[in-house]
């Protein structure tokens, strides 16, 4: 029996919605990365972007366990001397909840051009509304 290899032209993509309200950030991010990568399919092929689209709603209502809300730090550097910016998770959650969820998911994807292509299929929103109703997404409960 031959090993099945998916071709990028034959990939069937579906849409999924994950409601992040009251769920830990890591659980939401791992489920989203799993679907974006395509590992939930029987036709998974590592070198092909065979994943599906993921919509995450209620990003501002995600929770962090333990002391991560105070101790976890997010760093950015402008590239200039003294250009390091650091923010804790509490600041990120109240000011930039979408970026916080996107960073968590992006960190779980491959660090190459295939991972960047998978990342483009992620959509994160702060409220419970999203603009992808026409795609008839399937709701996933965690």
What angle, 0 to 180 degrees and rounded to 10, lies between the N-to-C axes of helices 25-37 and 97-106?
50
Look at the block and give the residue holding tokens 């309200």: 21
> If you search the block for the tokens 């999203």, which residue do you land on?
130
pLDDT per residue of the chain (142 residues) written in tens, 0 to 9:
888 899 999 999 999 999 999 999 999 999 999 999 999 999 999 999 999 999 999 999 999 999 999 999 999 999 999 999 999 999 999 999 999 999 999 999 999 999 999 999 999 999 999 999 999 999 999 9
**Domains assigned to the chain:** 8-63+94-140 (3.90.1180.10)
Q: What is the pTM of this model?
A: 0.94
Q: Do 101 and 124 form a contact (C-beta atoms < 8 A)?
A: yes
């Amino acid at each position: 029996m031959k090993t099945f290899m998916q071709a990028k032209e034959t990939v069937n993509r579906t849409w999924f919605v994950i409601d992040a309200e009251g769920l830990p950030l890591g659980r939401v991010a791992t489920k989203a990365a799993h679907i974006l990568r395509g590992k939930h399919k029987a036709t998974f092929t590592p070198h092909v972007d065979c994943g599906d689209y993921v919509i995450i709603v209620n990003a501002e209502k995600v929770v962090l366990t333990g002391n991560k809300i105070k101790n976890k730090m997010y760093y950015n550097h402008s590239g200039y001397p003294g250009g390091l910016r650091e923010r804790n998770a509490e600041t990120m959650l109240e000011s930039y909840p979408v970026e916080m969820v996107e960073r968590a998911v992006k960190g779980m994807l491959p660090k190459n051009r295939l991972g960047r292509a998978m990342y483009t299929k992620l959509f994160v929103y702060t409220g419970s509304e999203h603009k992808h109703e026409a795609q008839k997404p399937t709701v996933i409960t965690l």
